[in-house]
Amino acid sequence: MTGRKKPRILCVSRSSSQLEAICSALPRKEYEVVTATTPEQAVAVCVSNNLAAVVLGSEFSTDAGWSAARTFKMVKPHLPVVLVGHDHQQAPPNGVDAIAHNHSAIQHKLNELLNRR
């Protein structure tokens, strides 16, 4: 990296193992990663940080997760939100910009979204 600021990505999961898997999918040389384990904590981090995107763990593919994604959009409307592990046969939840069907797809989806900006 030559003078370019790394994008700060918020990774959110209630499961420590899933949070670790999400974070490990994001190379530290390319991203600055911050974490949260509850939606409330995630919103607080979102409000107090200049984030490039949010990655939500698969447990947020339920109605509660849709609410979390919509909350991020209310706080920062243009903040990209990626959901990991959502059923590809269902439409993405409201507020989610991209679906990463597995952990290896997270970086690809983030790059797609960040390059649109």
- The pLDDT-based confidence of 1 (bands split at 50, 70, 90) is very low
Q: What is the mean pLDDT of residues 51-72?
A: 80
Distance CA 30, CA 60 (A): 25
State yes or no: pLDDT of 102 exceeds 80.
Answer: yes
Question: What are the pLDDT digits (tens) for 11-52?
Answer: 999 999 999 999 999 999 999 999 999 888 999 999 999 999
- Tokens for 31? 């991203």
91 alpha carbon, distance to own chain's centre: 17
Average pLDDT, the chain: 87
Output the pLDDT for position 62: 66
With a pLDDT cut of 90, the percent of the chain lying above it is 59
Structural domains in the chain? 8-100 (3.40.50.2300)
| φ, ψ at 58 (rounded to 5°) | -60, -25
Predicted TM-score (pTM) of this structure: 0.89
State yes or no: pLDDT of 66 exceeds 70.
Answer: no
State yes or no: pLDDT of 114 exceeds 60.
Answer: yes
Give yes or no for a contact between 34 and 16, defined as CB atoms under 8 angstroms apart.
Answer: no
